[in-house]
Amino acid sequence: MNAPTSHDHLVPVISQRDIPPAFVEALKSRFAANCSTAQVVREQHGRDESAFTEVPPPVAVVFAENTQDVADAVALAAQYRVPVIPFGIGSSLEGHLLAVQGGISIDVSRMKKVLSINADDLTVTVQAGVTRKQLNEEIKSTGLFFPIDPGADATIGGMSATRASGTNAVRYGTMRENVLALEVVTSNGQVIRTGTRAKKSSAGYDLTRLMVGSEGTLGVITEITLRLYPLPEAVLAAVCSFPSIEAAVRTTITMIQIGVPIARVELIDANAVRMVNAHSKLELAESPMLLMEFHGSPNGVKEQAETVQEIANDNGGQSFEWATTPEERTRLWTARHNAYFAGIQSRPGCRAISTDTCVPISRLADCLLDSVAEADASGIPYFLVGHVGDGNFHFGYLIDPNNAAERETAETLNHKLVQRALSLEGTCTGEHGIGLHKIDFLVTEAGEGAVDMMRTIKRALDPDNIMNPGKIFSY
Residues 142-171 that bind a second copy (CB under 8 A): 162-165, 169
Query: Is 198 or 373 the residue whose CB approaches a second copy more closely?
Result: 198
Nearest residue to 218 via CA among 231, 227, 209? 209
Query: Is 20 or 230 the residue whose CB approaches a second copy more closely?
Result: 230
- What x-and-dash track marks residues 360-399 binding a second copy by CB under 8 A? xxxx--------------------------xxx-------
Tell which one of 234, 258, 373, 405 touches a second copy (CB under 8 A): 258
Which one of the spans 49-57, 270-278, 353-361, 403-411 is the region binding a second copy (CB under 8 A)? 353-361
Amino acid code (one letter) for 138: E
Alpha helices (runs of H) in 174-316, residue ranges in sequence order: 175-178, 207-211, 245-257, 270-280, 298-314
Contact between 440 and a second copy by CB under 8 A: the answer reads no
- The helix or strand, by DSSP H or E, that contains position 393, with its residue range, turns out to be strand 392-399
Contact between 359 and a second copy by CB under 8 A: the answer reads yes
Q: DSSP readout, 147-173?
A: ----SS--BHHHHHHTT---TTHHHH-
How many residues of this chain bind a second copy (CB under 8 A)?
Answer: 90
Torsion 347-109-356-461 (CA) sign? negative
Residues 456-475 that bind a second copy (CB under 8 A): 456-461, 472
Tell which one of 358, 384, 413, 436 touches a second copy (CB under 8 A): 358
3-state SS, one letter per residue, for 421-446: HHHCCCECCCCCCCCCCCHHHHHHHH
Minimum CB separation of residue 65 from a second copy in Å reads: 22
CA 96 to chain CA mean position, Å: 11
Minimum CB separation of residue 240 from a second copy in Å reads: 22
Strand partners, 36: 61
Contact between 414 and a second copy by CB under 8 A: the answer reads no
Minimum CB separation of residue 321 from a second copy in Å reads: 24
Minimum CB separation of residue 212 from a second copy in Å reads: 7
Which one of the spans 71-79, 212-220, 342-350, 375-383 is the region binding a second copy (CB under 8 A)? 212-220
- What x-and-dash track marks residues 220-249 binding a second copy by CB under 8 A? ---------xx-------------------
Rounded Cα–Cα distance for residues 412 and 417 (Å): 9
Query: Is 215 or 406 the residue whose CB approaches a second copy more closely?
Result: 215
Residue burial 42-75, b: 16+ Cβ < 10 Å; e: rest: bebbbbbbbbbebbbbbbbbbbbbebebbbbbbe
- DSSP letter at 402 equals T
Contact between 281 and a second copy by CB under 8 A: the answer reads no
Amino acid code (one letter) for 405: A
**What SS3 state is found at 125?**
strand
Nearest residue to 427 via CA among 435, 417, 412, 413? 417
Rounded Cα–Cα distance for residues 105 and 98 (Å): 9
Tell which one of 12, 151, 213, 386 touches a second copy (CB under 8 A): 213
Query: Is 165 or 338 the residue whose CB approaches a second copy more closely?
Result: 165
Nearest residue to 380 via CA among 415, 407, 420? 407
Minimum CB separation of residue 37 from a second copy in Å reads: 32
Contact between 313 and a second copy by CB under 8 A: the answer reads no
Query: Is 241 or 429 the residue whose CB approaches a second copy more closely?
Result: 429
Contact between 173 and a second copy by CB under 8 A: the answer reads yes
Contact between 72 and a second copy by CB under 8 A: the answer reads no
Query: Is 339 or 454 the residue whose CB approaches a second copy more closely?
Result: 454
Rounded Cα–Cα distance for residues 436 and 23 (Å): 26
Residues 122-141 that bind a second copy (CB under 8 A): 122-123
Minimum CB separation of residue 403 from a second copy in Å reads: 29
